[in-house]
Structure 1
């Protein structure tokens, strides 16, 4: 490897490691902890490659890229950052960085990227591009955080196709953040100043689809889990897409972004999703990994979610080492959604600023306990068994187990009352598992589920949307 590398990072250890590795590889190296010094070297004509951190004492490394490109259009820039979020990846791509790598980075991978940058020396226009900016609607606090390779690959894919005109299909298990990623395709793209509409199985009538198309002109339509739509609604979606592709308003047509389960082709094979609709939606497929595939992201996500809970008015909390170890070992089948529920519950129920191991263990035991099944007369003991170890042996009534759970919640607050809004929070805690179990028992058939629950079908659909419960129809195996 031959060339001069300019390094800007405020971490002395990283500067030393990179300097030694690049020098051994045959490069000349200039390293600094200042973006001002880096800019001076660039303006003097030094360097064949820049490696820069993002957050520096005197500025932001990504924000300096336009000035570097103006001064030296053919000088490649590799961005390294401890801010392992989708926003960082997208901003680096918008600024036309040669590569973006999260910290802590893999040294052989960085060396390979440096070698490629020095050998290719990409040609870039000499014009000064507008600085990379995020839309007003972009949520910089969105929980799309991760340094795991699977998440970094996802971030890069999103950044590459963010402003393409291809439809996007986002696949993954419930709770992994598919809806958040879908929204990011609008909020972080050049369509962000146009409308966005969301279509769900709860509201997929002909009128709703037409209204969505009108509201999202030039913007984005997000379709949530089309496998749960009725056949007639799927046919209407096909008609909508065809009209957008070939109609007179095609130049201002909205982009289609769709979320689905982890295996949409299985939904097609099972007859839940029309194949002609699937192929219209799957221009680019992005698979979102579950948390068990990126265990190292659990604790950074937990810290972020605790911080977000505090910003929303809940008490500030942090995890003790024991609590963190217990959380990292928990399977989290509900993924990010389950993790957020756990963090909010801990923010509410922990007695001190630091969540103890005992408090984490108690919360995880409640989360992991089986939900109480629907009960018939005389079968209350079996139903109550899953509601916690605090119930006295032989308790036969569901109401008693709920009472014990609520009393424990009040006891955890000592002499203080729980935060306001308790009634709705408790109803939500009970309503979600009831709907999920009823849906599972009826094979995802919403008509049968509504009949089982004794509520109107439209009411059921509204609740499923409010609680963000995904519906996948399947045959019930007896």
Structure 2
């Protein structure tokens, strides 16, 4: 990799790590903790790539991108940020950043993005030719949306939403109840070029011919969001499809957004959703992972939701680390909606920092502890962990060591054990999702490309099939 990279981050340790890694990769690096210094270097003609943080002592890195583009339209910018929200991803996309990575980022991934950016500089120049005449970006200052997440599945979702904002495609948002599908649908309208128009929502209760016709007229120039199309009866689905086909191609036709369960194709296969209506609504698919697939996001979500509760007039109570750890370890069949309900109850029923005992009392009927994670200390002897993954793995490993008596097992044990766990995990997850790799990746909380590489490396065959419920 060859080129000069300009780094702007107020964290000295991050500047040091990036400087060392990029220098070893063959690049020349200039690093600063000031956006003003960064802009000075850009105006002087230095640098082939910019890597900038968002929140800096002297400004906002994303807000600086237009000035960089005016001075050097061909200069690609990679944004890195600890603000792991959909708003940050959208703002980076609207500013035409080359890419966006959340902190803490994977260093090899950043190096790969930097290499790609350096190799594609001419294309960036073509894309940014509008300069100061580019249309104004929508106001994204509202950060109250509970779309927060550092998990790879959520970051992939944020990027996809940002790309689809102004695409002329109908979008279907699929996932379990309570994951935030409607919120994502609203974001697709509110942050798009259609935000000046109305967002009109129809549900299975609005299936009459008159109601659907009125909704289509109201959504002209804006967005029509269809909640749970499989819940409409057969006659209402026929009426809705006819209205959509009638509006197809019209200048004022609304943008279509719909929400569905985690398996809309299964709803088609089972005859609950017309196939032609499904294909009309699902021009692009956004799969939202359940909260259980991104447990590391729960502490940040809980603190954000506590702040939202305070905005409603409830007490803003501190959530100590031990309480956040307990929140992370609960089961949430109701997903983010259930977590929000629990946090509001905590805000309503007490004052001062939340205690573990208080959380245990409130969560008793609403959530149950998940099995102890592998490697975590158990509450008692290993034999009491029956049914828990960590206990089963520990027993298996102990028997394996016992078989070797006083000798040690052959070298390479770590990789062999991980493969023994990884292969059945991937096979069972694929089977549960009917061989759908996109849904399987979302279930596992990993990137689809990562899943594909693992399947190839482990020689796991994938067969798409209709799932029998």
SS at match of 2:66: helix
- 2:292 equivalent in structure 1: 292
Please report how far the alpha carbon of residue 127 of structure 1 lies from its aligned counterpart in structure 2 after TM superposition. 3.5
- 2:172 equivalent in structure 1: 169
- 2:119 equivalent in structure 1: 119
Please report how far the alpha carbon of residue 96 of structure 1 lies from its aligned counterpart in structure 2 after TM superposition. 0.8
> Alpha carbons of 1:14 and 1:285: their partners in 2 closer, same or farther (altered >3 Å)?
same
User: Bigger CA drift: 42-51 or 201-210?
Assistant: 201-210
Please report how far the alpha carbon of residue 131 of structure 1 lies from its aligned counterpart in structure 2 after TM superposition. 7.7
1:208-287 paired onto structure 2 within 5 Å: 208-246=211-249, 250-287=250-287
1:433-448 paired onto structure 2 within 5 Å: none
SS at match of 1:17: helix
Equivalent of 1:192, from 191, 195, 208?
Answer: 195
- 2:357 equivalent in structure 1: 358
Please report how far the alpha carbon of residue 123 of structure 1 lies from its aligned counterpart in structure 2 after TM superposition. 3.3
Structure-2 separation of matches of 1:79 and 1:139: 20
User: What is the CA deviation profile of residues 129-179 of structure 1, one whole-angstrom value per residue up to 9, with x for unaligned ones?
Assistant: 44863348x742100011110000001111111101110000000000000
Structure-2 separation of matches of 1:346 and 1:131: 44
Structure-1 separation of matches of 2:91 and 2:70: 18
Structure-1 separation of matches of 2:135 and 2:283: 29
Structure-2 separation of matches of 1:71 and 1:340: 45
Structure-2 separation of matches of 1:180 and 1:31: 38
Please report how far the alpha carbon of residue 299 of structure 1 lies from its aligned counterpart in structure 2 after TM superposition. 0.7
Could you tell me which runs of 5 or more consecutive residues in structure 1 were left unpaired when the two chains were aligned: 370-476
- 1:155 equivalent in structure 2: 158
Contact 2:49–2:114 (CA under 8 A) maintained in structure 1: yes
- 2:313 equivalent in structure 1: 313
- 2:19 equivalent in structure 1: 19
Structure-1 separation of matches of 2:45 and 2:148: 36
Structure-2 separation of matches of 1:93 and 1:320: 35
SS at match of 2:131: coil
Could you tell me which runs of 5 or more consecutive residues in structure 2 were left unpaired when the two chains were aligned: 369-468
Please report how far the alpha carbon of residue 366 of structure 1 lies from its aligned counterpart in structure 2 after TM superposition. 2.6
Structure-1 separation of matches of 2:320 and 2:102: 26
Contact 1:182–1:259 (CA under 8 A) maintained in structure 2: yes
User: What is the CA deviation profile of residues 50-75 of structure 1, one whole-angstrom value per residue up to 9, with x for unaligned ones?
Assistant: 00001111111111111111111111
Structure-1 separation of matches of 2:170 and 2:124: 30
User: What is the CA deviation profile of residues 194-238 of structure 1, one whole-angstrom value per residue up to 9, with x for unaligned ones?
Assistant: 111000011221111111111111100000001111111101110
1:12-51 paired onto structure 2 within 5 Å: 12-51=12-51
RMSD over equivalenced CA pairs, Å: 1.5
Structure-2 separation of matches of 1:368 and 1:44: 58
Contact 2:331–2:367 (CA under 8 A) maintained in structure 1: no
Structure-1 separation of matches of 2:9 and 2:253: 44
Task: State the 4+ residue runs in structure 1 displaced beyond 6 angstroms.
Answer: none
Contact 1:91–1:132 (CA under 8 A) maintained in structure 2: no
Contact 1:201–1:226 (CA under 8 A) maintained in structure 2: yes
Structure-1 separation of matches of 2:143 and 2:356: 31
SS at match of 1:355: coil
- 1:367 equivalent in structure 2: 366
User: What is the CA deviation profile of residues 227-252 of structure 1, one whole-angstrom value per residue up to 9, with x for unaligned ones?
Assistant: 11111110111011101115xxx011
TM-score, normalised by the number of residues in structure 1: 0.74
Structure-1 separation of matches of 2:101 and 2:50: 13
User: Bigger CA drift: 355-364 or 114-123?
Assistant: 114-123
Structure-1 separation of matches of 2:16 and 2:195: 41
Structure-2 separation of matches of 1:139 and 1:273: 35
- 2:322 equivalent in structure 1: 322
